[in-house]
Structure 1
């Protein structure tokens, strides 16, 4: 693989201020220039989403919050359970609800019944009305309920919007819709979002193999991320649902690869866990790496072939010379999912589903950042240096994160000709690992720490 060197934009190993904004950044690349892979003779590619879901019933029907199915160990969580498990509830009780902040969610196509579904979701879980803006910079294709691609994105949109709102109930949400899942369309929508300053934090629950992106595409994504970072916008992306694997560029098989946009050093990558919490109260019990052989899925994680190891990961010996992902994690289990109201699925209007996948965690982390922005009374912007500083300080780390030390993300995947592709995985370990990153948040402790560090570095001489 030929590598194209792109000049490094920032000096190495220092904290500094960007354009006078309330943004604290650490240097990205600890050695050498940033690199972009040049992939020859590859057709323009596209990102994918894969929100796993199972039908629970109608929104106006009965629902026990444990959502217990007839299958062993399958249940789901409502809003209160997740807030309790990750210690978000104490901040909400003290008025830190994301008020005054805006979460941007970037997705493709549309969810025609979204506003009605959000209203039903709010009523079901006692949430305040959502200030929701929907923007489509380009003309969207007409809704086709028989198009499985459009239906899948509609599911993703519903999951993203409802659960960002659930965790930061007073934050505004702007949904920005791309006319397709193709890279150029999504990058154009991302640039529109940044240029119009539509929000404080951007959630992207999609991805594709690094191997399938041309040098121009990688460069365009990264330049947009640099622009967002200079504007103090936090970027988050899901790490994927196929362990260390990504689809080959012809979509007929699998190989070991990291995905974009999550592998970009300016993006905070969100991996997946299986959360074990009390099904009624939500009291935290334990977590393991998310791996579900029944649906051939596991937390995405591994190492980039494109990006150098960033300075904020320098102290992590488990990472070699390349960027390691994910950075953090959140419940993504398909068996311990979250409740979503979605009218565009096979069961029609008012359907309730249990959703899983790393795309479930990304909008909730975006909500946590919105709460942290409110707490700090400023945009935190590029948060990876803050997260890894907390992770490298034992007393902070133990108070702010659940360190996931059990499980791995090995997975067997099926190719187009039904051949089984066996991909090795990484094991969870103390501290950062290539399955769940630093771990999952203890939000009531993490948010004040992030805010304190951001303000301290901004005002330091």
Structure 2
């Protein structure tokens, strides 16, 4: 396939295929062979001409692992007396006042949500179909692009299984919130920084979508300054095209994992980049039947806590100046959504239903909200942060957001910060009242 060309193929479930692409050290032209995702619209990318320099010796982004996926046979967590409840798409959409928007015809139609991830999920199509059928969502078939070729799935790899769960979670919940939007999954060859950035750059340069969701992260002290500058340039290019970028703020409170996998006191990148809308976590309490919003505090339980704090790399952007007086660094998160095990979301994965926690599903849901906002506005809205913080300092703030004032994000021995009125470095501006917020963003 010549440079600059792309072809679209129909890949059959259970088949194997090969395509020539440049992946790590593929300047010699190896043949990348992989198990197919299934009957998806697969768009192999054109070969790139240069490698993005590798970062460090171990540069895997942190993703969900099996410990964060709790299989609940028969959806027992839906029982009104379950000690740790879980929520369906209808309940989440009700809690955050989305149902009237979606039922009124704003579904994300005409929008494309790009989900960046590593490796692949070989059961995505069957799991997604089950999820949609169970919860009354319209069937959808995501597009899949692998810029460096699709990596063969290794079921013995904990890292690959973690990414597979991440993919299932992000696709299902972005679709649940914006059921009319197209989902375009862009798969890096691995979870390494260089591969992830190359996939992101490909999505931007080829204008693959309107909203980009990034449910991964690492301590911003891990990548080199050169890598962060290159990443920032890609994000600036995305915004020049009118794309909206979101990323999860992390699941370990005031800490984040660095290059060797250990925790350090740091905020997460790419969430800390000021071009990105960083999504934190809450503990949502909603009616067990209707999903009506009852209360919300910062996410902090034995399973994790909302990532948040202040960047040591990026300076406080102008849109945060009215909200942050005692720190010169970029503060994250910007917004939040339910993330606790005491209010997890239901995900179909490997043929079973289970519950997933963390800022990963929260980010995918906010990507869906951004797609709804684009459709309502009638055009791409680009960077959300300036618009969000404009609402945050307006008289409409209390109606447009649930201001999270309780809780803090001390976790795993790392002292955190408290939530409080208005913006805070644990839950940002809070969680959305979508029916009120979207017209204000538009």
Following superposition, the deviation at residue 83 of structure 1 comes to 0.6
Instruction: Give SS of 1:138's match.
Output: coil
Q: Does 1:47 align with 2:99?
A: no
Structure 1 segment 275-294 matched on structure 2, within 5 A: 275-293=284-302
Following superposition, the deviation at residue 250 of structure 1 comes to 2.3
Q: Does 1:439 align with 2:434?
A: no
Measured in 2, the distance between the counterparts of 1:249 and 1:132 equals: 32
Q: Is the 8 A contact 1:341 1:351 kept in 2?
A: yes
Measured in 2, the distance between the counterparts of 1:75 and 1:123 equals: 21
TM-score normalized by the length of structure 2: 0.85
Corresponding position of 2:305: 298
Structure 1 segment 353-432 matched on structure 2, within 5 A: 353-393=354-394, 395-412=395-412, 422-432=413-423
Instruction: Give SS of 1:305's match.
Output: strand
Structure 1 segment 171-250 matched on structure 2, within 5 A: 171-250=181-260
Q: Is the 8 A contact 1:209 1:248 kept in 2?
A: yes
Measured in 2, the distance between the counterparts of 1:341 and 1:49 equals: 17
Following superposition, the deviation at residue 48 of structure 1 comes to 1.3
Following superposition, the deviation at residue 442 of structure 1 comes to 0.2
Corresponding position of 1:272: 281
Measured in 2, the distance between the counterparts of 1:284 and 1:136 equals: 39
Q: Is the 8 A contact 1:86 1:442 kept in 2?
A: yes
Measured in 2, the distance between the counterparts of 1:157 and 1:142 equals: 15
Q: Is the 8 A contact 1:111 1:158 kept in 2?
A: yes
Corresponding position of 2:78: 66
TM-score normalized by the length of structure 1: 0.82
Q: Is the 8 A contact 2:58 2:259 kept in 1?
A: no
Q: Does 1:130 align with 2:140?
A: yes
Q: Is the 8 A contact 2:218 2:258 kept in 1?
A: no
Q: How many residues align?
A: 386
Q: Is the 8 A contact 2:298 2:419 kept in 1?
A: yes
Following superposition, the deviation at residue 249 of structure 1 comes to 3.0
1:363-391 residue CA offsets vs partner (Å, 9 max, x unmatched): 10000010010000000111100000000
Following superposition, the deviation at residue 75 of structure 1 comes to 1.3
Measured in 2, the distance between the counterparts of 1:222 and 1:428 equals: 28
Measured in 2, the distance between the counterparts of 1:173 and 1:67 equals: 31
Measured in 2, the distance between the counterparts of 1:397 and 1:108 equals: 37
Q: 1:86 aligns with which of 81, 86, 96?
A: 96
Corresponding position of 1:34: none
The 1:204–1:169 alpha-carbon spacing in structure 2 relative to 1, beyond 3 Å, is same
RMSD: 1.4
Corresponding position of 1:261: 270
Measured in 1, the distance between the counterparts of 2:420 and 2:110 equals: 38
Following superposition, the deviation at residue 254 of structure 1 comes to 2.0
Measured in 1, the distance between the counterparts of 2:311 and 2:254 equals: 11
Following superposition, the deviation at residue 261 of structure 1 comes to 0.2
Measured in 2, the distance between the counterparts of 1:402 and 1:66 equals: 24
Corresponding position of 2:12: none
Following superposition, the deviation at residue 319 of structure 1 comes to 5.0
Structure 2 alignment gaps of length 5 or more? 1-54
Corresponding position of 2:328: 321
1:289-332 residue CA offsets vs partner (Å, 9 max, x unmatched): 00112x3x100000000001000001013551110000000000
Corresponding position of 1:75: 85
Corresponding position of 1:56: 72
| Greater RCO (Cα-Cα under 8 Å, separation 6 or more) | 1
Corresponding position of 2:352: 351
Q: Is the 8 A contact 2:250 2:268 kept in 1?
A: yes
Following superposition, the deviation at residue 105 of structure 1 comes to 0.4
The 1:448–1:215 alpha-carbon spacing in structure 2 relative to 1, beyond 3 Å, is same
Q: Is the 8 A contact 1:234 1:383 kept in 2?
A: yes
Q: Is the 8 A contact 1:109 1:179 kept in 2?
A: yes
Following superposition, the deviation at residue 259 of structure 1 comes to 1.2
The 1:358–1:319 alpha-carbon spacing in structure 2 relative to 1, beyond 3 Å, is farther
